[in-house]
């Protein structure tokens, strides 16, 4: 099956696409596959940053004079509340990627595919910005 897909892909690029819609759909398939991996990798990074930020807060708050379990717990809850929108962002990105996959399988019109790619790309950009901000909070 992989050999057939490779042969078809090579023949399409060698002969040129039949029209602009074919080019859009072909490129959208690549974007979709790449996005699935990218979102997964970003979510793994986010989980690491989330845990690191919680540990840093626990360390910092515990070192303060007069620190109590409650003050540490409150600081950790603040971190958790900061990350709640990030989890929602990843949920929306996964949904956008799944919508694009459905459109591609259904043979949707190029204009629908382009809109779905735009939505997913915007979410990926927002994810990158969010992770950058989290790294900054950790001093990295």
For the chain, the structural domain boundaries read: 19-137
pLDDT tens-digit readout, 57-97: 999 999 999 999 999 999 999 999 999 999 999 999 999 99
Cα dist from 44 to 12, 52, 58, 133, 140, whole Å: 35, 12, 21, 16, 17
The total of other beta-carbon atoms located within 10 Å of residue 127's CB is 21
pLDDT, one tens digit per residue, over 7-20 is 545 555 555 557 88
pTM, two decimals, is 0.77
- Alpha-carbon distance 60 to 67, whole Å? 10
pLDDT class for 23, splitting at 50, 70, 90? confident
Write down the mean pLDDT value for the chain: 88
């Amino acid at each position: 099956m992989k050999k057939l897909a490779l042969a078809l892909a090579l023949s399409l690029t060698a002969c040129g696409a039949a029209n602009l819609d074919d080019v859009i759909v072909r490129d959208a398939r690549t974007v979709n596959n790449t996005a699935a991996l990218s979102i997964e990798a970003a979510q793994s990074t986010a989980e690491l940053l989330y845990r690191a930020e919680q540990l840093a807060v626990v360390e910092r708050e515990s070192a303060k004079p007069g620190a109590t379990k409650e003050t540490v717990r409150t600081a950790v809850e603040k971190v958790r509340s900061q990350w709640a929108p990030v989890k929602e962002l990843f949920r929306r990105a996964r949904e956008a990627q799944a919508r694009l996959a459905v459109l591609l399988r259904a043979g949707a019109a190029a204009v629908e595919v382009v809109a779905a790619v735009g939505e997913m790309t915007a979410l990926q950009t927002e994810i990158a910005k969010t992770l950058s901000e989290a790294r900054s909070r950790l001093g990295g």
